Chains A and B, each alone.
Chain A
Amino acid sequence: MFEPFYISFKLASITVLILFLISLPLSWYLSQTQSKIKPFIEALTALPIVLPPSVLGFYILVALSQNSPLGTFFKDTFDISLVFNFTSLVIASCFYSLPFMVQPLQSGFESLNKNILEASYLCGKSKLQTILFVALPNIKPALITAIIITFAHTVGEFGVVLMVGGSIPGETKVASVAIYEMVEIMDYKGAHIYSAIMLGMSFIVLLSVYTFNAKHKRKFGL
């Protein structure tokens, strides 16, 4: 009965992991660069916030479908279809949730005192060592915010998932889509249970983020 939740969480976990690896270098670059192309990259990464999910879903569908060059390539080479399966959900979610990972990390990195980054270089440390041992530990609130909000946002997505993944039970039918279908077939009891779980969980997630951040601020004064 709770399979859609399982799929939602699996999807969100994988998305967080992939997005963290992509966003770490991207947000670091954006926080340090003074290049003229910075606003373009920032605008591109922020697009999923303002675009209707159906627009995003539509373009992803077009780009990945078996008639597109990319879709044809994957079909011919690996015999993988990129739409209406779990893989397509992961790809779509990565686009959809990208700004929620990049933006907190970027503003976290930007808020760091430049002196401590320089000090790290002057201690003989490379950029990577500086990011891992100095920058990240000192932006824990931003880091936690980025990870939790990306997770929660991915669990909460609906439009993009429906367009790119459809609603295949056990494969692409996530919790939010399941609620939509329950309402359609007038299974209000099921919809109530699912919605209540989502509501409760979202609140607890946000509460823990804000509590952690307040505690961290008191402890380290960051």
Chain B
Amino acid sequence: MININIKKTLHGVNGPMNLDIDLSIKQGEFIALTGPSGSGKTTLLRVLAGLEVAEGEIEVNKSFWLKNNKSIKAKKRSIGFMHQENALFPNMSILQNLLFVINDLELALRLLSLAGLTELQDRYPKTLSGGQKQRVSLCRAMMRKPDILLLDEPLSALDAKMRTQLQSKILALHKEFNTTTIMVSHEPSEIYKLSTRTIILDNGHIIKDGKTQEVLLKSQGSQKFSFEGELLELKEADVIIIAIVAIGQQIVEIVVSKKEALDLQVGQTVIVGTKAFAPTILCPSR
């Protein structure tokens, strides 16, 4: 169980802003932290990691990381942290990057093989692609078998294909190590795939907190539209099937018949449009 109750004054682009967070997190949850830029997401993550100070309390598994202005240092917190990019030690090989954390060769090799990096273990970070670097970064974050895994927009610098690959690695490691994960992300499809709970921050405050599906699925008016999106899931509900589609920054539910669903595949790009009141869903190739 993690209890967070912190306050901090930030100096953002729009003048001073109060970050005021009161939050309880259960062991093993995968939380997506989202909201407009400058809303305090990264700061919250950094406060949790001990990289920035704040007032209040942070309690993790019955020990206090922050209480009465006494903060234990970043190095003493059981944290795995993944930066957006460029956080590998350039002077060390991939394997050395992991072993620098804890000299546990067995764990390092296991993580590298889980991430599909075994063959690259003796290479240096400079020679890796962006996606490979982030996979190494993820493995390194897991070396301490952390209580909390913090991911600060870990995939935002990668292209779509790399992102999909890495998303599954993140989920695999999260489950394998039964860690509690908090991820900052702007990508609804990513949030939908990975997280069980979504928290939306705005101006330093939590404005929405709930199950990912409930937070992301907004009801829409019935104006005429036609948008391209990614098909995330096909859910069977009695005689009909509900298609979950990510369109831009939004996730929508669309009812399709079983016959229509036969032509659809999860992961496919589809066009969502409406002719009258009920939206129809089409494959762009047809």
Contact = CB atoms under 8 A, between A and B. Distances in A.
B51 A119 contact: no
Given A122-B49, A123-B144, A115 B86 contact: yes
Contacts of B88: 116, 119
B79 interface: yes
A136 to B, nearest CB: 9
A124 B100 CA distance: 10
A113 interface: yes
A118 B51 contact: yes
Interface string A136-170: 01100000000000000000000000000000000
B90 A120 contact: no
The 5 closest A-B pairs by CB, nearest first: A115-B87, A137-B91, A123-B101, A119-B87, A122-B81
Interface of A: 113, 115-116, 118-126, 133-134, 137-138, 220-222
Q: For A115, A122, A126, A138, which residue has the most chain B Cβ atoms within 10 angstroms?
A: A122
Contacts of A123: 75, 100-101, 140, 143-144
Contacts of B83: 115, 118-119
Interface of B: 49-51, 73-76, 79-81, 83, 85-91, 100-102, 124, 126, 140-141, 143-144
B76 A116 contact: no
Given A122-B141, A123-B144, A220-B90, 12 more contacts: A115-B85, A116-B89, A116-B90, A118-B81, A118-B87, A119-B83, A120-B89, A122-B81, A123-B143, A124-B101, A125-B100, A138-B91
A13 B89 CA distance: 31
| Secondary structure type dominating chain A contacts | helix
Nearest to B77: A122
A135 to B, nearest CB: 10
A20 B165 CA distance: 47
19 contacts: A113-B87, A115-B86, A115-B87, A116-B88, A116-B89, A116-B90, A118-B74, A118-B83, A118-B87, A119-B88, A120-B89, A122-B49, A122-B79, A123-B75, A123-B101, A123-B144, A138-B89, A220-B124, A222-B90
Contacts of B80: 122
Contacts of B102: 124
Contact of A126 (B75, B81, B143): B75
A92 to B, nearest CB: 36
A124 B76 contact: yes
Contacts of B73: 121
Contacts of B144: 123-124
Contact of B89 (A119, A121, A122, A221): A119
A221 B84 CA distance: 19
Contacts of B141: 122
A138 B90 contact: yes
Given A121-B51, A121-B74, A124-B75, A113 B101 contact: no
A6 B269 CA distance: 76
Given A115-B83, A220-B124, A220-B126, A122 B90 contact: no
A133 B102 CA distance: 14
Given A115-B86, A220-B90, A221-B90, A122 B74 contact: yes
Contacts of A116: 86-90
A134 B90 CA distance: 9
A138 B121 CA distance: 20
Contacts of B89: 116, 119-120, 134, 138
Given A122-B75, A124-B75, A220 B91 contact: yes
Q: For A121, A124, A138, A220, which residue has the most chain B Cβ atoms within 10 angstroms?
A: A124
